[in-house]
Structure 1
Amino acid sequence: MLDAVERSLSRLRRANLYTKRMPLSFISDGVGVIHDLDYAGVLGSVGISNTIANKLKNFDGTLQANVMLASLERVKSYLRRIESEFGGSEYKPEEDDRIFELTTVVERNPPEPVPVWAEQWVYVRPQSRAKAIIAELSELLDEVALLVKSSNLPEEQAAVTDLDRAQLIALLETALLMLRAPLVEPGLLKKLQKSATDAASKTAQKGAEQAMGEGLKVLGAKLLELFQSLW
């Protein structure tokens, strides 16, 4: 299973696809492992949301390459832990531990109160352009949150500090919950848009976590599109 995941990861890395949307057949070996984990009832322990997991199980579907990469890195880390615990292997690379510890980065680095200038709660009509953008944003937020949680770099080499990462994750997950409601508050989304843009800029400056940076850039642009459609 590890070999199958590594084959798919190597193919993604060689292609340098960044945020390009690709068919899941491009990582067929990795998708097969995801199906095996799902059949075994342990897919929920890997650290991938149900939304993304369902996409990964669809051989006929498509997904952005950077999300595929982050998902497979988590699968690889999970399999290595299983191998270490039950297969007698002592191999436990630090980068795998790093990926898993970022799942709890918000608990370990509780964000300070986030100053947000609340504007107004805006009702989003069901058939409006804004509603369609929100549907796209909901999927994108889930994917970007995975990318932010999936760095295997130590903090000193990463594009953002763990504290900034924790605040960004908290904003991403809060916005995801808010967008499921009939009313949205643009002030919070503008705060997220600025945080996402700033973090994307840091990835470019530091030359690290490019997959995360690309996802954050796409998110920032999509949030601006939503602001323009709300009125």
Structure 2
Amino acid sequence: MTDPGFSLEEIHEMLDGIERSLSRLKAANLYDKLMPISYIPEAYLVHVELDLHGVLHSIGLNQSVANKLKNIDAKLRAPVMIAALSRTRSYLRMLESEFGGNKSSAEHFEQDHAIQETVEANPPQPIQVWAEQWVYVKQGSRAKQIISDVSELLDEAVLLAKTTNLPEDQAALTDIERAQLIAILETTLAVLKAPMLEPGLLKKTARLATEIAEKTAKKNAEEALGMGLRFMAKKLWELLSGFV
């Protein structure tokens, strides 16, 4: 891990800023509302500082989410903000522990490792996809904009899936289901970066996202993840409507 060179006092100041922003978010009952980064100015300054020291990538946030956190004019859904700030807090606590503080402060980083171990021990079943056609996506086209929107929703869904604090018996997904979902979402995200798309995989992902969203609704758990997956599936079908 890159050493950002912060003093213990600087780390404590950044932790205080993240806590103030988190407290404001959690006290407002914002549900799934799209919120401006200006609503969390303390966290914005922390992420700018982390970026200036070249360690914003060390938090484990996806690129689109990280970029928005350091852009005062950007917006994120409230649950995504909370999940992202929780990961930043864990990162700062991990830095704090290097000065002799809490040694059990890297929960999200340990969780990421556990997810990877789970998916390696229980890989997703092979996905049967009938190759329909490979479609080139023109730069500047409407499809490109939709792909950008879908990619952001995928980033958010991966973040929300990784940062649940619920025990397995209360969560919407088992640990195996969660790890496999993340693997499929990250695969779809990688595919969307290619110059050509094959609709079969995107259809599978859209259907899976809808199924998981319905499961979160039935269990009354991880509603933010379910809502994000539902938005993503809707955008995927919008993208596919231009190809089929």
Other-structure match for 1:115: 127
Other-structure match for 1:17: 30
Other-structure match for 1:204: 217
Distance 1:37 1:73, change over 3 A: same
Partners of 2:119 and 2:183 within 8 A in 1 = no
Which shifted more, 109-118 or 210-219? 109-118
Equivalences for residues 45-124 of structure 1 within 5 A: 45-89=58-102, 92=104, 97=107, 99-104=108-113, 105-110=115-120, 111-118=123-130, 119-124=132-137
RCO comparison, higher one (Cα < 8 Å, 6+) = 1
Partners of 1:106 and 1:169 within 8 A in 2 = no
Q: Which residues of structure 2 form unaligned runs of 5+? A: 1-13
TM-score (norm 1): 0.88
The CA deviation at 1:188 is 0.9
The CA deviation at 1:152 is 1.7
Letter in 2 for 1:137: V
Other-structure match for 2:8: none
Q: Which residues of structure 1 form unaligned runs of 5+? A: none
SS at match of 1:103: helix
Distance 1:88 1:170, change over 3 A: closer
SS at match of 1:22: strand
Distance 1:84 1:222, change over 3 A: same
Partners of 2:68 and 2:76 within 8 A in 1 = yes
The CA deviation at 1:195 is 1.6
Equivalences for residues 116-135 of structure 1 within 5 A: 116-118=128-130, 119-135=132-148
The CA deviation at 1:44 is 1.9
Determine if the alignment matches structure 1 residue 184 to structure 2 residue 184. Answer: no
Q: State percent identity of aligned pairs.
A: 54
Counterpart of 2:167 (choices 136, 154, 160) is: 154
**CA–CA distance in 1 between the matches of 2:31 and 2:138?**
34
Other-structure match for 1:141: 154
Determine if the alignment matches structure 1 residue 32 to structure 2 residue 45. Answer: yes
Partners of 2:216 and 2:226 within 8 A in 1 = yes
Letter in 2 for 1:81: M
The CA deviation at 1:127 is 4.3
What RMSD in Å do the two structures reach over aligned CA positions? 2.0
**CA–CA distance in 2 between the matches of 1:45 and 1:209?**
25
Partners of 2:212 and 2:229 within 8 A in 1 = yes
Counterpart of 1:166 (choices 179, 189, 201) is: 179
Distance 1:77 1:126, change over 3 A: same
Which shifted more, 36-45 or 212-221? 36-45
SS at match of 1:189: helix
Other-structure match for 1:44: 57
Letter in 1 for 2:28: A
For 1:120-162, what per-residue CA distance to the aligned partner results, in whole angstroms no more than 9, with x for missing partners? 2223333443222112112221222111111122222221112
Determine if the alignment matches structure 1 residue 228 to structure 2 residue 241. Answer: yes
